[in-house]
A and B are shown apart, each in its own frame.
Chain A
Amino acid sequence: MTSCQTQYLLMLLLSVGVSAVEVQRPRGVPLSKRQFYEEGKPFTCLDGSRTIPFDRVNDDYCDCKDGSDEPGTAACPNGSFHCTNAGFRPGFIPSSRINDGICDCCDTTDEYNSGAACQNTCRDLGRKERESLQKMAEITKEGFLLKQQLIQEAKRGLEEKKAKQADIQIGKKDLEARVEALRTVKETAEQPEKEAKERHLKAWEEQKAVIQMEKDKAKMAEVLSELDDDADGSVSVAELLSHSELDPDSDGSFTEAEAQGLLGGVDNVDSVAFESVWNNIKDKYASEANTETPAEVETTVEEVREPPSDNDSEQYPEEDIPEEEEEDDDEEDEEEDQEDGDYKSPPPTQTPDKKEDDDEGTMPPFDQETQNLIDAAQKARDAFDEAERALREVDDQVKNLEKEISFDFGPNAEFAYLYSQCYELSTSEYIYRLCPFNRMSQKPKFGGSETNLGSWGHWSGPEDNIYSLMKYEHGTGCWQGPNRSTTIKLTCGKETVVISVSEPSRCEYLMEFISPAICQEPSSLDAALHGHEEL
């Protein structure tokens, strides 16, 4: 801009200034403080600290501690300069921005001596601001209307929920009664079932004992004949000694005295007396005839642990590896130990039982009468279980309803509509998903698992506007850092939509979210729109 133009512009500005109600006052003084700066009269610093001749006001030397003598120069470190900004909003700037070569006031008045080529942009800014304020006012208006609807909906919703809650409470009582009734039915049916089953089992046990005894007798006879080397129908100490496994103290030497002891203190026992001997030796006795397979093969599961793969460690100092393990979460180690313990214990299948069954046959099926009792009991049980499940479901419903009803959805529950909804924002790398009052997450667009960026914590706005921010906390832990968390900044709008997500600090996310629920009553905005024009 040529100096000619500048002058022209200055004149223009002046004329504009004069044509508006321009009141003479020192540079940088707001209208509201004009009366303190009276031309030609001594000036008293606004903090009252001293009085100076008027020609020291704006003489580019700081005389007042509070900076009030230099409203139009940069001389005072703590001064402030008032821009009239005709056509836009007036304002103050720190006096250090006067003549620093940077245009701060849209009316260019801060750069009166720096040579900076500032353009008066106030009209433009004013128009834009009015437009945007207007737009905002409209949005706010509509948003506020929507908010009223939301409040109504929430009210209705709440009533519905409360009604539902009441209904459910009633239903629940019925259900509880039903459960109790069915429990009685079940227990009544189970008693005869139990008795019948026990009877059946007892009969089977007895039968098994008979079979077992017969088997034992046969075995005894067999053993007797095996032991009875001289076939005299009786077992002698000498004959017994050939079976060293019978050594009572298993010390490796089976003495005659010990054998005699087994035979009840005599040298010889006959087939009748052997019966009592048999009881002493049958557990240890090893048949001569069949070389039975030794004890069953152990079936414990081998602990299969692959060595940790360290394909990459080769390239790097291997000393580093253990340190990692050492330092990496002690907690995990504990968990691992537990898992290991589980892993090592054998599966719960009991093979010996099966063997016994094989030896002694299976229990015969229940007789029809017993079976009928069992079927009846089962039916009662099923009915009871179902009723109980239904009750649990109702309980859950009650709990959820209670939870929802007790949530802080804002002063008029205007945020209730967000509950159980989810909103997404797709960026170049991730899809962010906010489920208000639940959780916030991030999923890579091109494969990879979801990361929890925090679960609903609390409203966290400033005291006077607590519902302007939401805090989601305790998300997935950050490596070397805190658990992820997200702050949601709510602004007024007609829609409910996520605008942006950023990560200003590592693992601390910031989401901008638009919702009508945060819209303020428009009247307060109108005041702001009209109240600022000084001229």
Chain B
Amino acid sequence: MATFTERMAPVLVLWLAVFLSGTWAVDKGNFKTCDQSSFCKRQRALKPGESPYRALLETMELTNTRLTLQLINDNNKVRLLLELYRLQGNMTRVKINELKPLKPRYEVPDVLIREPPTEPLSLLSQDENGVVLSLGAESQRVILSARPFRLDIMEGRDVVMSLNSRGLLAFEHLRMRKDTFSYKVTSTVASVWNNIKRVFSSSQADPEAEKKEEADPAAQPEAAKEEEKDEDGMWEETFKSHTDSKPNGPSAVSLDFSLPGVEHVYGIPEHADTLRLKTTENGDPYRLYNLDVFQYELYNPMALYGAVPVMLAHNAQRTTGVFWLNAAETWVDISSNTAGKTVFGKMLDYVQGSNETPQTDVRWISESGIIDVFIMLGPTPKDVFSQYASLTGTQAFPPLAAVGYHQCRWNYNDQEDVAAVDAGFDEHDIPYDYIWLDIEHTDGKRYFTWDPHKFATPKEMLQGLSDKKRKMVAIVDPHIKVDSNYKIHNEIRSRSFYIKNKDGGDYEGWCWPGSAGYPDFTRADMRDWWASMFAYNQYEGSMENLDTWNDMNEPSVFNGPEVTMHKDAMHGAWEHRDVHNIYGFYVQMATAEGLIQRSGGVERPFVLTRAFFAGSQRYGAVWTGDNAAEWEHLKISIPMCLSLGLVGISFCGADVGGFFKSPNTELLVRWYQTGAYQPFFRAHAHLDTPRREPWLFGPENTALIREAVRQRYTLLPYWYLQFYHAHRTGEPIMRPLWVEYPEDPATFALEDEFLIGRDLLVHPVTEEGARGVTAYLPGKDQVWFDVHTFQKHNGAQNLYIPVTMSSIPVFQRGGSIIPRKIRVRRSSSCMMQDPYTLYVALNLQRTAEGELYIDDGHTFNYEKEFIHRRLSFANNVLSSVNLAPEAQFSTGSWIERIVILGASKPSKVLLKTDDGQESQVEFDFDASMSVLTLRKPGMNAGADWNVMLQ
């Protein structure tokens, strides 16, 4: 949400009027380009191939698990400390910091789930030009070259990745401010002195003196010029009317990575852009800086609400990843030696035997902090997911209800409205699990409170929902109204938990409530306090079935630079500059912790966040922010969520229907159909738009929407299993095709279709007036079954599918078994005990495999109490085997039906249960589609059994 009501403070209204007026596109002028961000401009101006950095091999220290050595910048003699680790699971960590910084530089805490365990490194060879280290087995080596400094990671004879190969390593050391008269005098004197000194001794470490050595007489004019440049943006920077005082001066870090053989790179969300990242040579780099962008524009590299500094590189042989652990404003440049070439040009190269390998070069630039890079060496996509998961954790396992359908609107006006919408779902027989309340539910935008007139008896309302086995989410934003009658504000102020401005007072900015303070969520004690506010006796009117939505946590500051916080605001000793991108992560962390604590650690929390960082997957769900009711926005929801999934954040969705503007009926229906097959499925709408509950568009469209939502609910067992997998492995739920078909280049750039897990391929209709879609079905020697008609299609083909308004093209992979519950009820928890139907889709080998996962659906008991079974079909026997014999759980659910796709007609079917009893199962065979349906085998879903076709 990013607009306002007419009843707001006049100043805000004026500002927003300006902000809102007319055009339906982002006002790009409100946000910086690289040129307007002085460090980015400075860094981007560096020329490749002129690296001043040299490794001082004599400083090398190699312990069992760690290599350290010093790097020196030959231009200014500032020394850096390089640390290199071999991490368990085929990763390498490279850390670079100043050897002796003037003051400590920020190292991002709390993102890694633990200090990554290391593996031994060994020295293979060494000479004056460099060293060669072994990265354990697999003939992996790191070659460290000394002059200029450079790292090459090799596997066999192939270079997998090179660091500083273009010489763009840059590390702006912390320094004294130069713009005082006394400094200038001393620096001139010092430079003369240094020059003299230099004649006698070359590399003695005297950091103070060395720093000034850059004023080398030989380069005097240039140095003078540089000093003038210093004044421009190094110590102060103004953007629009906002001045960033930079008391610490320049502090940017930068490093380049070369990826030979790579033409496809992915990740670094959040951008409203294609799945496959584009080269940035002719425009701005991709920007990572959490911002509340009003009416964001599609297909460009501008920053959005969240930032995950993780990039994946892929080719048919290997997948690798780079995790750049830095929470400051970051820009990522991508270039490629094949980017400009046409397919024909590439073919020509091939025919003519041109041996220029394709290569992608990536460069990361951050405003402050240190260089701390995790190089994930794959080699498969799933290896990279598990490597990244081992660093930052996996997707939080949500309560089952959160996987259902969410009905949201800014705003449901009052309790009667909530009751009426709830009743509307029953009247039209559409299931839903959560109804949401946006900011208007509060008492004057004071979070943790309720509007005394409109929501006078919240517990009654929540009880009413609970009686229907439904839940609610209420918004809690991190900006706190400055109001001495507001308990939350008073407590935060008295505990001095607010972020401070550069002068030491509490930072105040404009947001929904008017003047607001921003709690310092980077403080653990603040987060503990915040979590305690969710206790039932603190958060009045809250109940077990109330969960939380964190919005505006970039943080959004309406009157701040780029609608966010001033970079010179202070979080204790650190500047906001250092921690900006991790603020939203902490807000969600503290909120999720609060929800866990209020139930005594029993219940799984559900928290939705708009801002995020690496590791945010551990705390809940993410949505793509304030999109618009336009077909292009529907389309981009796919690559946006795919990109998030690739970097660990699986629980992703876009506002169904589009937040701004009003969708036409066709768009709304298509969006429901698409959203039903995306992990987070929530309809949402702006305050100023007409109502759009599913039954407001005539019976035909109500039926279409009902059908889409019901498809979601029938598949909940499969979705829930996917969440369980994501939680266990870090693999994305909604995944690009190349993740499963890494050797098929035809899949590398696909972004109009996707997989859910391994087994469902979805190609939603996202074109207005579509008569058909062309889906790519991957996999040579594979087959796919249309889940609606059971028609079989061969893999490795582009399949044209005629569509009507009711079509949602979805295919089940031959070789898979998918459990469904076809008795769709009011909400997910009404369906807990319902029986399963197993859809067994046979591959060409007439085998299939799948899993079944069952637990209580809402507590942390799943860690010990669950059912996890492997279902497999081979040799005409379908069997269920326990995958977790140590786990305890019993279910009333049973198997009511087994549908075998691609089957032949048996003469009889026998069921053998674990007590040894055999019984005959009735069946029905549809010869036209080769579908065998076993009628009511009836065994318990948690039991061992075999079904034999004879």
Q: Which residues of A contact B416 (CB under 8 A)?
A: 502
Given contact pairs A317-B29, A320-B18, a sample of 10 additional A-B residue pairs in the complex whose CB atoms are under 8 Å apart: A61-B896, A74-B823, A75-B896, A77-B710, A77-B822, A97-B825, A102-B469, A312-B14, A315-B559, A508-B690
A505 to B417, CA, bound (A): 11
| Interface contact B826-A327, CB-CB below 8 Å | no
Most chain B C-beta atoms within 10 Å of own C-beta, residue among A100, A312, A507, A508: A100
A77, A96, A428, A502: the one contacting B413 at CB < 8 Å is: A502
Segment at the B interface, from A243-251, A343-351, A477-485: A477-485
Contact A102:B467 (CB < 8 A) given known A96-B429, A97-B825? yes
25 example contacts (A-B, Cβ-Cβ < 8 A) are as follows A96-B823, A96-B830, A97-B825, A102-B467, A102-B468, A312-B15, A315-B11, A315-B15, A315-B241, A316-B15, A317-B29, A317-B240, A317-B241, A318-B240, A319-B30, A321-B18, A326-B21, A327-B22, A328-B22, A481-B689, A502-B413, A504-B413, A505-B689, A506-B689, A507-B688
| Interface contact B687-A506, CB-CB below 8 Å | yes
| Interface contact A96-B241, CB-CB below 8 Å | no
In the complex, per-residue mask of A304-325: 1 if CB is within 8 Å of any chain B CB, else 0? 0000000011111111110110
**Residue A264 at the B interface, CB < 8 A?**
no
**Residue B19 at the A interface, CB < 8 A?**
yes
Q: Which residues of B contact A508 (CB under 8 A)?
A: 690-691
A321 to B453, CA, bound (A): 37
Contact A100:B826 (CB < 8 A) given known A312-B14, A316-B241, A506-B689? yes
B: residues with CB less than 8 A from A are 3, 6, 10-11, 14-15, 17-23, 27, 29-30, 240-241, 413, 416-417, 429, 453, 467-469, 510, 559, 687-691, 710, 822-826, 830-831, 834, 896-897, 935-936
Closest Cβ–Cβ distance, residue A104 to chain B (whole Å): 9
| Interface contact A320-B19, CB-CB below 8 Å | yes
Closest Cβ–Cβ distance, residue B610 to chain A (whole Å): 22
Contact A505:B690 (CB < 8 A) given known A96-B429, A96-B823, A100-B830? yes
A102 to B426, CA, bound (A): 12
Q: Which residues of A contact B690 (CB under 8 A)?
A: 482, 505-506, 508
A interface majority secondary structure: loop
| Interface contact A506-B27, CB-CB below 8 Å | no
**Residue A503 at the B interface, CB < 8 A?**
yes
Contact A479:B830 (CB < 8 A) given known A96-B823, A506-B687? no
Count of A residues near B, CB < 8 Å?
Answer: 40
**Chain B residue at minimum C-beta to C-beta distance from A508:** B690
Q: Which residues of B contact A321 (CB under 8 A)?
A: 18
A96 to B834, CA, bound (A): 10
A: residues with CB less than 8 A from B are 59-61, 74-75, 77, 94, 96-97, 100-102, 312-321, 323-324, 326-328, 428, 478-482, 502-508
**Chain B residue at minimum C-beta to C-beta distance from A103:** B467
A482 to B661, CA, bound (A): 12
Closest Cβ–Cβ distance, residue A227 to chain B (whole Å): 71
| Interface contact A96-B826, CB-CB below 8 Å | yes
B10, B23, B691, B825: the one contacting A96 at CB < 8 Å is: B825
A318 to B240, CA, bound (A): 7
| Interface contact B453-A77, CB-CB below 8 Å | no
Q: Which residues of B contact A315 (CB under 8 A)?
A: 11, 15, 241, 510, 559
A74 to B429, CA, bound (A): 14
A60, A96, A102, A326: the one contacting B22 at CB < 8 Å is: A326
Closest Cβ–Cβ distance, residue B923 to chain A (whole Å): 13
Q: Which residues of A contact B468 (CB under 8 A)?
A: 102
Q: Which residues of A contact B687 (CB under 8 A)?
A: 506
A321 to B241, CA, bound (A): 13
Closest Cβ–Cβ distance, residue B373 to chain A (whole Å): 35
B18, B20, B23: the one contacting A316 at CB < 8 Å is: B18
Most chain B C-beta atoms within 10 Å of own C-beta, residue among A328, A479, A480: A480
| Interface contact A327-B21, CB-CB below 8 Å | yes
| Interface contact A61-B935, CB-CB below 8 Å | yes
Closest Cβ–Cβ distance, residue B252 to chain A (whole Å): 25
Closest Cβ–Cβ distance, residue B605 to chain A (whole Å): 23
**Chain B residue at minimum C-beta to C-beta distance from A500:** B416
**Chain A residue at minimum C-beta to C-beta distance from B468:** A102
Q: Which residues of A contact B936 (CB under 8 A)?
A: 59-61
A366 to B486, CA, bound (A): 83
A158 to B83, CA, bound (A): 98
Q: Which residues of A contact B21 (CB under 8 A)?
A: 323-324, 326-328
| Interface contact B691-A314, CB-CB below 8 Å | no
Across the A-B interface, the 7 shortest Cβ-Cβ residue pairs: A327-B22, A320-B18, A327-B21, A100-B830, A317-B240, A505-B691, A61-B936
Q: Which residues of A contact B241 (CB under 8 A)?
A: 314-318
**Chain B residue at minimum C-beta to C-beta distance from A316:** B15
A506 to B17, CA, bound (A): 17
**Chain B residue at minimum C-beta to C-beta distance from A502:** B413
A428 to B831, CA, bound (A): 42
**Chain B residue at minimum C-beta to C-beta distance from A322:** B18
Q: Which residues of B contact A481 (CB under 8 A)?
A: 688-689
Q: Which residues of A contact B823 (CB under 8 A)?
A: 74-75, 77, 96
A428 to B468, CA, bound (A): 31
**Chain B residue at minimum C-beta to C-beta distance from A482:** B690
| Interface contact A102-B240, CB-CB below 8 Å | no
| Interface contact A478-B688, CB-CB below 8 Å | yes
Closest Cβ–Cβ distance, residue B897 to chain A (whole Å): 8
A506 to B823, CA, bound (A): 37
**Chain A residue at minimum C-beta to C-beta distance from B421:** A504
A74 to B240, CA, bound (A): 63
A321 to B18, CA, bound (A): 6
Q: Which residues of A contact B429 (CB under 8 A)?
A: 94, 96
| Interface contact B825-A317, CB-CB below 8 Å | no
Most chain B C-beta atoms within 10 Å of own C-beta, residue among A315, A317, A482, A504: A317
Most chain A C-beta atoms within 10 Å of own C-beta, residue among B510, B690, B825, B936: B825
Contact A320:B896 (CB < 8 A) given known A77-B823, A100-B830, A312-B15? no
| Interface contact B453-A428, CB-CB below 8 Å | yes
A77 to B690, CA, bound (A): 32
Q: Which residues of A contact B710 (CB under 8 A)?
A: 77
A506 to B662, CA, bound (A): 12
Q: Which residues of B contact A59 (CB under 8 A)?
A: 936
A101 to B830, CA, bound (A): 7
Closest Cβ–Cβ distance, residue B473 to chain A (whole Å): 21
Q: Which residues of A contact B935 (CB under 8 A)?
A: 61
A312 to B416, CA, bound (A): 39
Most chain B C-beta atoms within 10 Å of own C-beta, residue among A97, A428, A478, A505: A505
| Interface contact B825-A324, CB-CB below 8 Å | no
Most chain B C-beta atoms within 10 Å of own C-beta, residue among A96, A314, A319: A96
| Interface contact B688-A96, CB-CB below 8 Å | no
**Chain B residue at minimum C-beta to C-beta distance from A100:** B830
Q: Which residues of B contact A326 (CB under 8 A)?
A: 21-22
| Interface contact A324-B17, CB-CB below 8 Å | yes
Most chain A C-beta atoms within 10 Å of own C-beta, residue among B10, B690, B710: B690
| Interface contact A504-B691, CB-CB below 8 Å | yes
| Interface contact A319-B559, CB-CB below 8 Å | no
Q: Which residues of B contact A503 (CB under 8 A)?
A: 413
A505 to B693, CA, bound (A): 11
A77, A312, A482: the one contacting B11 at CB < 8 Å is: A312
**Chain B residue at minimum C-beta to C-beta distance from A507:** B688
Q: Which residues of B contact A318 (CB under 8 A)?
A: 240-241
Q: Which residues of B contact A60 (CB under 8 A)?
A: 896, 936
Closest Cβ–Cβ distance, residue A100 to chain B (whole Å): 4
Closest Cβ–Cβ distance, residue A116 to chain B (whole Å): 10
Contact A323:B27 (CB < 8 A) given known A61-B936, A74-B823? yes
| Interface contact B826-A102, CB-CB below 8 Å | yes
A480 to B834, CA, bound (A): 47
A97 to B825, CA, bound (A): 7
A320 to B23, CA, bound (A): 12
A479 to B4, CA, bound (A): 11
Closest Cβ–Cβ distance, residue B44 to chain A (whole Å): 24
A61, A75, A319, A327: the one contacting B240 at CB < 8 Å is: A319
